[in-house]
Amino acid sequence: MDDYRNLAAELVAALRKEGADACDVYIAASNGFNTTVRLGAIEKLQQSNARGLGLRVFKDGATAATFTTDFGDQTVRRLVAETLELVRVSNADEFNGLAPKDLLGEYDGRLLLFDESLETLTPEQKIAMVREMEDAGRAFDPRITNSNGASWSNSVGQITLANSDGFVGQYQTTIASLSVWLLAEEDGVKQRDGWYSYNRFFNKLESPRAIGEEAARRAVRRLGGRKVKSQAVPVVLDPDVAGDFVGMIFNAASGNNVYRRSSYLIDRVGEQIVAPSITIVDDATIADGLASRPFDAEGVRSSPVTVIENGVLETYLCDSYAARRLDSRVTGSAGRSYQSGPGVAASNLFLKNGTDDPRDIVGSVKNGLYLTEMFGSGVNSVTGDFSQGASGFWIENGALTFPVQEITIAGNVLNVLKNVRAVGSDLSFKRGSTASPTLLIDEMTVGGE
């Protein structure tokens, strides 16, 4: 992959020469491979290459952004001129500007973002892994009757950023994934489920056989699902669902949403908002983290940010614009594509591990719900109230008994997290960059029959 640092720096110089008060240049490049197999036959085989550059200019308090995928000299020169023309007719905003110069830089620890071994895998090897994964799932149980497809995906990405305050940085990343979705059938009733594994490094992926068998196990265990009566009971959130609640907190703590008055955390910094057992951190410096990076989309050096500590809201997550709007601190939380300017984005966002064994958490519940899935939209961004479809397993006397389906879960995000009774010790980033251990909620409203 080409080194674009010189190009980015040259474009910054050209923008300044044409009259920009300040500016930055963001270049993203990637190449990838993905394939999907269904019932042993290849359904998709795709190799992709993409690149683009975005220019952002500030002049007289106004800002303008443009982009192109054509890196030819004539196109880029024309884009520089067009960006300066555009900013001259844009409205001024006192909060516009680059990130503070003293925050610019690169995290100097080992991030482990790039796996060279991925480049040695042939398409034939990738297809063979996908077939092995699907075959393992289909052979796991006779009730597995069909496949919705099994997939491999890998990509190499490169981000280059330069700005008029002298920052120039570039980093490369890799990511690979395996996934499969299977159908189980019994007595004419079908259920679908799947499993997947993501990692920066090929050798840290779960094995194809293990993924296939787990997908089959999860599909089969959904058979025989029942409704339950509407009631308020203790609820165990499995890590994926608990991670959904962490994501809800991010949306409310995003500086963009706070200054737009579309958050239930407005004016709550310094307050106890959830249970003291909860600490939520956004950390772009985790080694081989799926969203780790040495600097954010404005060039701010990456560092861990504690959003909630022992239940207290410590800060909003802010890029430089949101920070100025809120008179808050820049947290290095800018994300962007080459097609747009920066906005607030999470990196590796997680609820910190507790000390409780997940099996003991389930074992402590006499009568309740083990929640494995929530679906559909239904979170009110202003109040935090939610109502979503859900499924899981009923707990009786500390054991999972039967699958539960066609239910709804309703409540308020903060009330749910205020009533956390236990925090598990099973935090993992294997399936995403927003994560949580198992959580036990004292009581939630389950809507059923």
Q: Which two tokens stand for residue 12?
A: 């910054």
> What integer pLDDT is reported at residue 431 of this predicted model?
81
> What integer pLDDT is reported at residue 3 of this predicted model?
97
pLDDT digits (tens, 9 = 90+) for 363-411: 999 999 999 999 987 799 999 999 999 999 999 999 999 999 999 999 9
Query: Partners of 50 in the beta sheet?
Result: 30
Render the burial of 337-370: b for 16+ CB within 10 Å, e for the rest.
ebeebbbbbbbbbbbbebebebeebbebbeebbb
Host H or E run for residue 392: strand 385-396
**Phi (first) and psi of residue 377, to 5 degrees:** -85, 155
Q: Which two tokens stand for residue 45?
A: 């085989």
Residue 127 burial by Cβ neighbours in a 10 Å radius (0-12, 13-18, 19+): middle
Q: Which amino acid is at 130?
A: V
pLDDT digits (tens, 9 = 90+) for 42-56: 999 999 999 999 999
Beta strands in 110-254 (DSSP E): 144-163, 168-186, 189-199, 231-237
> What integer pLDDT is reported at residue 441 of this predicted model?
98
> What integer pLDDT is reported at residue 430 of this predicted model?
85
Q: Which of 207, 191, 178 is nearest to 144 (CA)?
A: 191
Q: Using CA atoms, how far apart are residues 423 and 419, in angstroms rounded to an integer?
A: 11
Task: Return the residue matching tokens 């203790």.
Answer: 234
Helix (H, G, I), strand (E, B) or coil at 131: helix
Residues of the chain falling short of pLDDT 70: none
pLDDT digits (tens, 9 = 90+) for 225-258: 999 999 999 999 999 999 999 999 999 999 999 9
> What integer pLDDT is reported at residue 377 of this predicted model?
75
Q: Using CA atoms, how far apart are residues 402 and 394, in angstroms rounded to an integer?
A: 6
Q: Using CA atoms, how far apart are residues 337 and 51, in angstroms rounded to an integer?
A: 11
Q: Using CA atoms, how far apart are residues 390 and 196, in angstroms rounded to an integer?
A: 20
